[in-house]
Chains A and B, each alone.
Chain A
Amino acid sequence: MSENSFKVIAEDSLQPKSFSFSSDNLVKAKNIIKMYPSNYKESSIMPLLSIAQNQNNGWVPKKAIEYISDLINVPEIKVLELATFYSMYNLSPVGKFHIEVCTTSPCMLRGSDSMLNLCKKKLGIGIGQVTNDKLFSLGKVECLGACVNAPVVKINENYFEDINSQSLDQLINNFKDNKKIKIGPQSERKGSEPRK
């Protein structure tokens, strides 16, 4: 696997001994499975993987893959295929706040490289690494699909758009200090309307 080491299955020492859905999540999972016809049960793999990821601090352990394959009776490799294909799933431990910087062309033109460098410098970590306090981790992703608000970073499940070095710096500070944060465009824009 190239640059994104969160897509590499974590070492055995980091893997939990067992995994199963909490009772709330099991109810959720069962409702999801019910949505799909019995011959298309593979379709429920993706939502189940995200439930597992949310339950397990933002990453999917091996045991979760095996648990899901068992739950819907699908070969393990089919679950692993999806977990490795989509960039949303992490296969090794991430920080409490997982920062993903979009580096595809539009974002790059709008300065994503300097955003990435800022993150690296400020957090003292490289791509695919986690800070010592386990608070932040940094990843580089391909197009997040919000080019009109480039440059974009994704922190956990939220997008932070129209960022610049100042606002990104502030954003990371706010996360660190547990302060209130503004989701979405960090500029004067509300959405993707034309700039004034």
Chain B
Amino acid sequence: MPKIFINDKVVEVDDGITVLQACEISGIEIPRFCYHERLSIAGNCRMCLVEMENSTKPVASCAMPVAEGMKIKTDSEMVVKARKGVMEFLLINHPLDCPICDQGGECDLQDQAMAYGKGLSRFVENKRAVKDKHLGPLIKTHMTRCIHCTRCIRFSEEVSGNNQLGTIGRGEDTEITSYLEKTIDSELSGNVIDLCPVGALTSKPYAFVARPWELKKTNSIDVFDAVGSNIRLDSKGDKILRVLPRINENINEEWISDKTRFAYDGLNHQRIDRYYTRNNDGKISECSEDTAVNILKSKFTDPKKNKIFSLCGNLIDCESIFSLKLFLEKIGLKNYDCRQDNSFFIPNKRSSYIFNSSISGIDESDLCVIIGSDIRKEAPIIGARLRKKSLDKTGDYNVVRIGYQYDLSIDALELGKSFSSLTNLQNSKYTKLLKKSKKPIFIIGQGPLCSSEGENIFNFVLNLHNRIVKDPNWNGLNILQNYSGRVGALDLEFYNKKNIQKNNIEDIYKGKYETLYLFGADELEFDKIPKKTFIIYHGHHGDKAASRADLIIPMPCFTEKEGIYVNLEGRAQISRQVKMPIANVEHSSIFFSKLASSLGFQNDYSDLGSLREIMFSRYPILSKINQFKSEKSLKPSAFSKKFSKNVIISNIPNFYMTDSVSRNSPTMSSCSLQINENQNKL
């Protein structure tokens, strides 16, 4: 632990950190543009210059490692002068267009020019002008503003791994661009907007929309994938205007995926704000709440006779699911499920459906086996975490993959595309690799688990895992869930324990049920459902289900209510309310309590608080907000080693359109168009 002197104060810091970090630890702010905690050190902006004893020139603190007895000054005349000089140079070619710049008000250059700059420029020549670049539907460029900190380039190389950005030219002609201005093909590309310290890269959908100080900021949770990234929703009036990441080292670090960041505009389109029913002529028309409730009453008074099946969707919060469950329990309906894809899990065994190692557990692991998952599309944040781990220079980390070879941006050992390739894991060549590992993680995607071989695969991998892992505290069997509401629903036991392995969805398609109650469930193949099936859709978006439904009941979406979501690690987190529900739509729990009392049942709860109390008493795991609880690994049941020759594929074909909200988002559809166009060109 070297002792260094910062402004004559002794500070004892860890070995191997930089002077900038040491100053940060001792509470001294060092201005910087190119330095970023999560990226490699570039040292090219020169803004972090400090004075070091025995050095005639100021040194770049971001690139200078600490050494015993080092004497650093951050407030001397030399430093002040150096900062002023650097700032003046940076501003030489930077346009003075802050009033029309989207970064204005939250711009590092603006703030630091105020704090450390000279206030005026001696540069009388013309400023350079740079042509704007086309980087796709998400990132707006204004390259004249670029100060060449290269954060975006380092991000694309080191974090997202798409490697599509670079600098061309040199000296005054330096420009940042992608190769021939190709669209950036990455699920994390939006993060360069946050990284850019100036207004060169800004958000296209948010362009000229608002100023940062006018926005109401709500800390919330992302629901577009199962990772549960921590986000901040910025809203003005009743519109959400943008989504930014919040730092959570255990989950998303500092990144969020493009879907998380840009799909919010789907919330303003195709919303269901009133009741609709299908008339005798087959057309949907608006109806009153009473009519809708009467139809429901007629169906629910005798659920057995009416052969009702209830399915809950993928984006539903725990409270809503639980209120539905309470209602269904009251009327005595047992046919319900939360899986529209029949994915395999073991009832009441949490370890069979969560990401057991936890996301930060990836950093601890020493081997990764991916089975049938397109991680970049299913959970970009986990993909980035895995990539970070695999690039870690301290050890050789192996990633082994079985299944279709999706672009992973990690060098992986490919063991084969088909289910039968799983047996390759037992080849002598790979057993060596597996045996060497003490903390392996096995990531199983939903693709294989939703297939008919799901159970077999699960037990095969579990068996393999248990044979390798000797440490009883390590559980590396990671199920990669795709949907934010799924783990919560499974925790709430929203399934019929008696016929868990039965293919309920097939039964629906075969017409076994006369009435379907779809609680935000949109992912069925609706052409396959017989015409005579009466479909009730309770949801917030007029999507696939609503166009086929016979009765439509509105529901507030996740930004219009507070709700608990359990992420794929099994970590419960609270998503906060940003605005009032559209058209004052009732919270589904209120709707169910009203419906129950109209059917003559007593109410157990009066509001969200009392509902939560009941929920926590029955499912205490949900009350552990923000905590990760590790589970013991299971004992595998019998399995066969006979696998089919089918190729294992992911069940997320299009990253940008996975649910009713993102399917209705204009930004997401333009993304999916552009990216598909690019892929067709190749």
Complex Cα gap A120–B628 (Å): 74
Residue in A closest to B162 when the chains form the complex, CB atoms: A75
Confirm or deny: A98 has a beta carbon within 8 angstroms of a beta carbon on chain B.
no
One digit per residue, 1 when the CB lies within 8 angstroms of any chain B CB and 0 when it does not, for chain A 71-103 equals 000011110110011000000000000000000
Least distance between A191 CB and chain B CB atoms (Å): 30
Kindly identify which residue among A2, A75, A85 contacts B172, using a CB–CB cutoff of 8 Å: A2
Alpha-carbon distance between A42 and B193 when the two chains are bound, in angstroms: 28
Interchain CA distance A9-B177 in the complex, whole Å: 14
Contact B170 A77 (CB under 8 A): no
User: Contacts of A7 on B, CB cut-off 8 Å?
Assistant: 169, 173
Q: Is A62 an interface residue (CB 8 A)?
A: yes
Bound state CA distance, A80 and B163, in angstroms?
A: 13
Number of A-B contacts (CB under 8 A): 36
Is the beta-carbon distance between B164 and A80 smaller than 8 angstroms? Answer: no
Closest CB of chain B to A144's CB: distance in Å? 16
Instruction: Give which listed residue, B163, B165, B169, B178, contacts A1 with CB less than 8 A.
Output: B169
Q: Are B169 and A78 in contact (CB under 8 A)?
A: no
Interface centre among A1, A7, A77, A81 (most CB of B within 10 A): A77
Query: For A77, what are the chain B residues with a Cβ–Cβ distance below 8 Å?
Result: 163-166, 177-179
B172 nearest CB neighbor, chain A only: A2
Residues of A within 8 A of B164 (CB): 75, 77
Chain A interface size, as a band, is 10 to 19
- Say yes or no: A2-B178 contact (C-beta < 8 A), given A77-B164, A78-B163: no
Q: Min CB distance, A80 to chain B, in Å?
A: 6
Per the bound structure, the CA–CA distance linking A62 and B167 in Å amounts to 17
Number of B residues near A (Cβ < 8 Å) is 14
Closest to A3 in B: B173
Report the minimum CB–CB distance from B428 to chain A (whole Å): 25
Is B120 an interface residue, CB under 8 A from the partner?
no
A80 touches B179 (CB 8 A): yes
Q: A62-B180, A75-B179, A76-B179 are in contact. Are A81 and B173 (CB under 8 A)?
A: no
Q: Please state if B163 and A85 are interface contacts (CB–CB under 8 Å).
A: no
Is B295 close to A, CB under 8 A? Answer: no
CA distance A44 to B573 in the complex (A): 50
In the bound assembly, the distance between CA atoms of A194 and B177 in angstroms comes to 47
Q: Is B163 touching A84 in the complex (CB atoms < 8 A)?
A: no
By a CB distance below 8 angstroms, the chain A residues around B165 are 77
Contact B180 A81 (CB under 8 A): no
Question: Which residues of chain B in 135-163 are interfacial with respect to chain A, using CB atoms and an 8 Å cutoff?
Answer: 163
Query: A84 to B173, alpha carbons, bound, how many Å?
Result: 10
**A1–B178 Cα gap in the complex (Å)?**
16
Residues of B within 8 A of A81 (CB): 166-168
- Measured CB to CB, the closest approach of chain B to A140, in angstroms, equals 14
Contacts of A76 in B (CB 8 A): 179-180
| Inter-chain contact B179/A84, CB cutoff 8 Å | no
Chain A, residues 1-32, CB within 8 Å of chain B (1/0): the string is 11000010100000000000000000000000
B165: nearest chain-A partner, CB-CB: A77
Residues of A within 8 A of B170 (CB): 84-85
Having A2-B172, A75-B166, A77-B164, one finds 16 other A-B pairs with CB under 8 Å, namely: A1-B169, A7-B169, A9-B180, A75-B179, A76-B180, A77-B165, A77-B177, A77-B178, A77-B179, A78-B163, A78-B166, A81-B166, A81-B167, A81-B168, A84-B168, A85-B168
3 interchain residue pairs of minimum CB distance = A77-B166, A75-B163, A76-B179
